[in-house]
Structure 1
Amino acid sequence: MPSLHRLTLSLALALAGGTLHATSVAAAEGQAAAAIPYTQIEGLRAERDWLGALSLIERHLAVHRDDGRLYRLRVLTLADIGARDRARALYLARPELFSVEEAANLDAAGLARRIVWSKLYAVDEATRLEEARAADAAIDAYRAQLAASGTAEPASLAYDRLIVLNRLARHQEVADEYQRLERSDRPVPGYALGAVGDSLLTLRRPEDAAQALERAVQADPDDPDLPIQLAYAQLERERYDLALPLLSGLVDARAPWPRAPSARRGYENWPRYDAETNYALARAFGEDLPGAQGMIEPLAAIGPNNADLQATLGSIYMFRGWPSRALERFSIASTLDERNVEARIGQVETLSTLQRYDLARPIHDQLLARYPNEAHVRSMDRKWQVNRGWQARAYAAGGRNRDGGGASPLGNRDREYGLELATPLFDDRWRLLARSGRRWADFQGDRSVAQRNEVGVGYAYDRLDAQLYAGRDRDGLGGTAIAASAGWRIDDRFSLRARASRNDAAASLQARASGITGDLYEVGADYHPSERSAFGATVQHWRYDDGNRRDQLSLSADQRLLSRPHLLVNGLASLGTGRGSRDDAPYFNPSRDASAEFGIRLDHLAWRRYDRHFRQRLTLSSGAYWQQNYGTAWVPSLRYEHEWQFAPGRVLSYGLNWSRPVYDGQREERLGFDAELRWGE
């Protein structure tokens, strides 16, 4: 207790400017004639007994208020004890008592303290950067003062300013100043490299950030935040082989929060918490979403009032394809802490996915107004503009079939190309649509051509999306074409769809060669339990002009078999069956047929740089096809494709496919290609 009383008294004296309790003043006055013990004070300072020295200084300053030497010792001791802002304020009141070197050190220490304050969590958003702006203004004023006096700036001033500039989101200035200092043989010390690394990451320079952060970790291995920053730099370099072991090692090295069965709370271990939550997110980025979910859900159950945990769990749910569940978590996080930017960005993105732009817009606009320089907010706005802006799709496909004997519904050669356009979203629900396409196929020297132009309208709001098109073929065959489609999202996993089309554009070109068109009625259901699984069922009913009625049922399954940061392996399966009402149709129309196909798809992310990437996919499959009166045959297929994403919503894909299908018992070999350019989502 004596030491606690001594600390409390000394700090109170320092912060109150030396005011003493009446009894202390009386005691000091009794020693007025005694000599001031400078030697004893200096000795205590030499022994680093700052509290003892400060206590002795204050007792004698109460009597000798104008003693310059005591005043100087008081300021230096306050700086040594950590009250640097107070020390600088006292020094500025009597600067003549201090040497040039002491003045420079006190100025730098005081400014450094203001910089530390600028990183504290603000009481409200309106004042969150006030301390940083004040620190920046103080640095500028101090620099002007030094320039006016011809005094060289202390080296630490430039390093400290890097921290302030980072806090103010002036990241390019941080990068420029960092390069200048490195070139001038004044390498930035470890304590400022964390801010440098953060700015370089914001500027999307992960290689440079990783170098700076590696030096920072070496300089200060006890800082719990620096290894996490370094791990994110490695993630952004696509070096999961370095980032995941680093974060896993941090989790293992930090003791878990102990919890006794009857304890009201565990022992707080925030470095362990940071390591666990960031390791979980890194696993999510590396395609191990079930593992990430398994780490975060127990933590969120222990700390339901932790806004960051709720937002992190919302991000994982969004990655897993569960926007409704994600929105619930983001909303909870925003309620717990209205300053949580990631939670509000998550709300905008989930509400957009759920087609509720009317609810997302106020949050989006508020984020842009309050955080215009935040990298994540700018990224959110870019996605917002892409999702709501112009949409376009240009495509081309074709193939050549050999050895089929004329039975193929695709002909000897075939081509297809077209363009689809959609206007920007208006009234948060509507788009105007237009599309134009041309198809042709050669059947034993006769060419069947279909060229169609259509206009339409699209509607998307909440659970419902619908489209209506109307158009005509250039040759007028079949009359006006009308197509209506709709989809209904039941929840995050189930959805239904339906389509009705008069003079359908996908009707057989082989039938069209005989002047026959067809109408289509289709219903389907999809089940996506997570990002790793997808199942679908579709029933089609065709009504051809010649009286033929054709029914088809197809089932499909897509199941993830392997997930790695840059490689996804999925197993594929499909079943189908169909029947036609006419045996004498002048086009391929089996009375009964069925198929079963199984395959595997390898999806390799060969290169990625933030929003840009290059993927290659290889799909191998084989199955049995049965046709009434012709028996069963094995049908192999192979597909290889590339995908280039140049920016969000700017994707080019193209591929080659090979197969050996069988029609009316006649096997043919097909080699085809396709290409597609997508603009917008």
Structure 2
Amino acid sequence: MKLLALPLALACVTGFSLPFHSLAAPAGPAHGAREASLGEAARLRDQRQWLAALAIYERLLSNASDDDEAYRLRALTLADLGSAERAWQLYRERPQAFTAAQADRLENDRRARLIVWGGAYAQETSSRLDEMRYAERMMDEHLARLTPDERSEATRARLDRLIILNTLEKHEEVVAAYRVLQADGVRVPPYALAKVGDSLLATRHPEEAAAALEASLADMPGEFDIQLLLAYAYLESEQHERALAQLQSLAEANDPWPRAAGARRGHQNWQRFEADTNHAMVTAYGNRLGEAESALQSLVALAPNNAGLQSRLGSVFSMRGWTERGLERHRMAMTLDPRSTEARIGATESLLSLDRVEEARTLRDGLVRQYPGNTHVRRLERYWDARQGWHGRAWAATGRSDAQGNGDIASPLGNRDGEYGLAVESPLLGDRWRITAQASDAWADFQGERVHARYAGMGLRYVHDRLSLEAQALRPDDRYLDGTAFGLQAGWRFSDTWSASAAAFNADPEASLQARRSGIGADAWQAAVTWTPSEQGQLGLRLKQWRYDDGNRRQELGLAGQRRWFTRPHLLIDMIGDAYASRGSRDDAPYFNPSRDHALNAGVRLDHIAWRRYEHHLRQRLEVTAGTYWQEGYGTAWVPRASYRHEWKLGIGHRLDYGVSWSRPVYDGQREQRFAFDIEYRWGE
């Protein structure tokens, strides 16, 4: 939001005008006609009839060009009219005609006028801040000429500097200068306080920003931009309902675009339009994406050529998982307004999500070059670095299975089991390639014997647009199997909603540890397809087959899905379910290998944001499911399971996740109880 420095403009036009007798220097003896003319001009000035007064001064100067009093009053009248630059030029040509106070006023008016022009929207992007940078230089030179005591007393100059720094997006400097003014006991006027609130918001002090904006709004209750900024201060301090209420009241205070019957277009009310648009976006940030999309689509019908609206609709499409549709809208916005930072940032993020890095790089480089201080561009830079740089994860897990009855277990996981490992990916090479490396150790205890599957190896990954490919080679380091594992994986994105993948492994490192104990390995292949119609749900189907060295062929078909049931800004509730059926070709395998079995489970997942601060949050998830499990020869049993997890997002590209789980599975008719704990740390986006 951009608040123009209107109070500064008013100061240049009218705000510092004084009655004639307070401006005029003591006059010497003069003819009666001159005195009458000066008196008439003073009366006109007191009535704010600047042009009529100016005409008198011009006439007096045409008769006597060395008349310092008429010269001085002409310059001050021009300043009252808003011609701050011309008034300053006149002062510079004859400074001896002005008092120190008058000279200071003209200097301040000129800097204020530079600030106003610097805040205007430039026709050329490359020169959009040239005037404001010039104003900054003038202000810095002025303050540098002052002594420390004079500088502390130069209140107006210090306040004007807040406006300059805010427009130049030097928000940290605005906040620092504001704190100095507070320490000096200077009351910041409402127009400057609004700018301070904007900078406090940009530097991520939303509570302080809200307080500053509320104070500014108390003195300037009708200021639309301040009210809009205040809504975002509420939003960023996690007060979603308050932000929505603020925007709703702002919309109700402005008439909608009325359209008379038969009229080709309605009356344009851009303030109502902005209120409605931002209300839709805040609704989206509260996870109610379908509602936000509907609101924006209705506004698009009113203003299809509005670049900001098209870009915001694109952002909502991306939030719903429709990245290609989102990119299309951002490109429409860029066509309508090539200077739109919102559209260009949105298009860059969409292209990154679609793994079209070369195209994204072109847009990103232009943004960084033209808007290096922009808050949103700087955030994009942090996201870019996290996405393009090193990726990795470190994990560990442990579990225990206890049987009921005789104490013997049939679990393929053993009495106790665990795993730990480290996987690293190089920075993106050539915008498409990454080198991967990993090392892991999975183990399980079977009747007192601990079986290990230790692997270390490297791989190469290629990702561009719709296609992803990866090849891996992993070498075992244990006494059970010695064959190198080779794997190939491929993925293809058909559209925003459909994707598929396939993988094949020679000597699959994830094959049964029970089989490994007997020296039996397995090759494996799998294929999967996923349908994600929106953020409201997902459905995935997977087919996998293992070809064990003992001739056993095991096949499994699995289905998993989820559907959003309840949505609030800090709470999501999904209905979840899964099902699978499998079969094995041998009945005498020395590992858990049902000839036939199947399961069906359903439950609920609660996803709650317990705390959030920009890119940092603590998310807690609770999942509870129950279902039936059937195994040929052993019948059907109910199988409950539950898990509780924490996810700490520690910043862009850093995430810590851990949790506990409990279940009561049944193997070969034997009920068991399992507890497990796992933890994982990821870096990179």
Deviation at 1:37, TM superposition (A): 3.1
Task: Tell me if structure 1 keeps the 8 A contact 2:409–2:672.
Answer: no
Q: Secondary structure at the match of 1:225?
A: helix
The corresponding residue for 1:288 is 288
Rounded to whole Å, the distance in 2 between the matches of 1:504 and 1:240 is: 48
Judged with a 3 Å threshold, the aligned counterparts in structure 2 of structure 1 residues 60 and 291 are, in CA distance, closer, same or farther, namely: farther
Rounded to whole Å, the distance in 2 between the matches of 1:561 and 1:675 is: 28
Rounded to whole Å, the distance in 2 between the matches of 1:433 and 1:154 is: 60
The corresponding residue for 2:265 is 265
Q: Secondary structure at the match of 2:173?
A: helix
Task: Tell me if structure 2 keeps the 8 A contact 1:478–1:503.
Answer: no
Rounded to whole Å, the distance in 2 between the matches of 1:525 and 1:564 is: 30
Task: Tell me if structure 1 keeps the 8 A contact 2:654–2:683.
Answer: yes
The corresponding residue for 1:24 is none
Deviation at 1:70, TM superposition (A): 3.7
1:373-412 Cα distance to aligned partner (Å, 9 max, x none): 2222222122112111111111111211111532111111
Task: Tell me if structure 2 keeps the 8 A contact 1:367–1:377.
Answer: yes
Rounded to whole Å, the distance in 1 between the matches of 2:273 and 2:447 is: 70
Question: Which shows bigger deviation, 515-524 or 96-105?
Answer: 96-105
The corresponding residue for 1:425 is 428
The corresponding residue for 2:372 is 372
1:455 aligns with 2:458: yes
1:524 aligns with 2:531: no
Match of 1:599 among 603, 616, 622: 603
Rounded to whole Å, the distance in 2 between the matches of 1:334 and 1:440 is: 55
Task: Tell me if structure 1 keeps the 8 A contact 2:527–2:542.
Answer: yes
Rounded to whole Å, the distance in 2 between the matches of 1:284 and 1:131 is: 37
Task: Tell me if structure 1 keeps the 8 A contact 2:57–2:70.
Answer: yes
Judged with a 3 Å threshold, the aligned counterparts in structure 2 of structure 1 residues 525 and 233 are, in CA distance, closer, same or farther, namely: same
Amino acid at match of 1:504: D
Q: Size of the alignment, in residue pairs?
A: 650
Rounded to whole Å, the distance in 1 between the matches of 2:217 and 2:639 is: 58
Rounded to whole Å, the distance in 1 between the matches of 2:62 and 2:267 is: 44
1:327-347 Cα distance to aligned partner (Å, 9 max, x none): 112222222222212222222
Task: Tell me if structure 2 keeps the 8 A contact 1:36–1:60.
Answer: no
The corresponding residue for 1:203 is 203
The corresponding residue for 1:23 is none
1:411 aligns with 2:411: no
The corresponding residue for 1:352 is 352
The corresponding residue for 2:164 is 164
Task: Tell me if structure 2 keeps the 8 A contact 1:108–1:154.
Answer: no
The corresponding residue for 2:277 is 277
Match of 1:669 among 673, 677, 681: 673
Rounded to whole Å, the distance in 2 between the matches of 1:447 and 1:623 is: 32
Q: Secondary structure at the match of 1:321?
A: coil
Rounded to whole Å, the distance in 2 between the matches of 1:186 and 1:155 is: 8
The corresponding residue for 1:84 is 84
The corresponding residue for 1:179 is 179
Task: Tell me if structure 2 keeps the 8 A contact 1:623–1:636.
Answer: yes
Where do 1:7-156 residues align within 5 Å? 36-54=36-54, 57=57, 66-144=66-144, 154-156=154-156
TM-score normalised by structure 1 residue count? 0.91
Amino acid at match of 1:652: L
Q: Secondary structure at the match of 1:677?
A: strand
Question: Which shows bigger deviation, 179-188 or 257-266?
Answer: 257-266
Q: Secondary structure at the match of 2:224?
A: coil
Rounded to whole Å, the distance in 1 between the matches of 2:148 and 2:636 is: 94
Rounded to whole Å, the distance in 2 between the matches of 1:72 and 1:151 is: 26
Deviation at 1:51, TM superposition (A): 4.6
Match of 1:549 among 547, 553, 556: 553
The corresponding residue for 1:188 is 188
The corresponding residue for 1:437 is 440
1:538-566 Cα distance to aligned partner (Å, 9 max, x none): 11122112222122111111111122111
Task: Tell me if structure 2 keeps the 8 A contact 1:104–1:154.
Answer: no
1:581 aligns with 2:585: yes
Amino acid at match of 2:668: D
The corresponding residue for 1:363 is 363
Deviation at 1:36, TM superposition (A): 4.7
The corresponding residue for 2:303 is 303
The corresponding residue for 1:381 is 381
Task: Tell me if structure 2 keeps the 8 A contact 1:440–1:509.
Answer: yes
Amino acid at match of 1:129: L
1:625-656 Cα distance to aligned partner (Å, 9 max, x none): 11222221111111011111112111111100
Rounded to whole Å, the distance in 1 between the matches of 2:122 and 2:271 is: 22
1:483-522 Cα distance to aligned partner (Å, 9 max, x none): 1111000011100111111111111111222222112111
Question: Which shows bigger deviation, 261-270 or 149-158?
Answer: 149-158
Judged with a 3 Å threshold, the aligned counterparts in structure 2 of structure 1 residues 152 and 356 are, in CA distance, closer, same or farther, namely: closer
The corresponding residue for 2:632 is 628
C-alpha RMSD over aligned residues: 2.3
1:535 aligns with 2:539: yes
Task: Tell me if structure 1 keeps the 8 A contact 2:409–2:670.
Answer: no
TM-score normalised by structure 2 residue count? 0.90
Task: Tell me if structure 1 keeps the 8 A contact 2:527–2:543.
Answer: yes
Rounded to whole Å, the distance in 2 between the matches of 1:220 and 1:34 is: 44
Deviation at 1:268, TM superposition (A): 2.1
Task: Tell me if structure 1 keeps the 8 A contact 2:468–2:491.
Answer: yes
Deviation at 1:198, TM superposition (A): 2.0
Deviation at 1:314, TM superposition (A): 1.7
Judged with a 3 Å threshold, the aligned counterparts in structure 2 of structure 1 residues 563 and 64 are, in CA distance, closer, same or farther, namely: farther
Amino acid at match of 2:443: W
Task: Tell me if structure 2 keeps the 8 A contact 1:50–1:81.
Answer: yes
Amino acid at match of 1:243: A
Judged with a 3 Å threshold, the aligned counterparts in structure 2 of structure 1 residues 472 and 142 are, in CA distance, closer, same or farther, namely: closer
The corresponding residue for 2:471 is 468
Match of 1:501 among 499, 505, 512: 505
Rounded to whole Å, the distance in 1 between the matches of 2:115 and 2:550 is: 82
Rounded to whole Å, the distance in 2 between the matches of 1:323 and 1:151 is: 53
Judged with a 3 Å threshold, the aligned counterparts in structure 2 of structure 1 residues 623 and 73 are, in CA distance, closer, same or farther, namely: same
Judged with a 3 Å threshold, the aligned counterparts in structure 2 of structure 1 residues 90 and 259 are, in CA distance, closer, same or farther, namely: farther
Deviation at 1:670, TM superposition (A): 0.5
Deviation at 1:64, TM superposition (A): 5.7
Q: Secondary structure at the match of 1:351?
A: helix
1:585-613 Cα distance to aligned partner (Å, 9 max, x none): 22222222121111111111111222211
1:415-444 Cα distance to aligned partner (Å, 9 max, x none): 111111111111111111112211111122
Task: Tell me if structure 2 keeps the 8 A contact 1:429–1:461.
Answer: yes
Rounded to whole Å, the distance in 2 between the matches of 1:580 and 1:368 is: 58
Deviation at 1:101, TM superposition (A): 2.7
The corresponding residue for 1:660 is 664
The corresponding residue for 1:229 is 229
Q: Secondary structure at the match of 1:484?
A: strand
Task: Tell me if structure 1 keeps the 8 A contact 2:143–2:151.
Answer: no
The corresponding residue for 2:11 is none
Task: Tell me if structure 1 keeps the 8 A contact 2:34–2:60.
Answer: no
Rounded to whole Å, the distance in 2 between the matches of 1:406 and 1:476 is: 22
Task: Tell me if structure 2 keeps the 8 A contact 1:146–1:152.
Answer: no
Task: Tell me if structure 2 keeps the 8 A contact 1:406–1:444.
Answer: no
Task: Tell me if structure 1 keeps the 8 A contact 2:480–2:517.
Answer: no
Deviation at 1:460, TM superposition (A): 0.5
Q: Secondary structure at the match of 2:662?
A: strand
Rounded to whole Å, the distance in 2 between the matches of 1:463 and 1:363 is: 20
Q: Secondary structure at the match of 1:204?
A: coil
Q: Secondary structure at the match of 1:185?
A: coil
Percent of residue pairs identical = 48
Deviation at 1:67, TM superposition (A): 4.3
Q: Secondary structure at the match of 1:410?
A: coil
1:203-261 Cα distance to aligned partner (Å, 9 max, x none): 22222222222211112112111111122222222222322211222112211122224
Question: Which shows bigger deviation, 658-667 or 578-587?
Answer: 578-587
**Structure 1: which 5+ residue stretches go unaligned?**
1-31
1:513 aligns with 2:482: no
Deviation at 1:93, TM superposition (A): 3.3
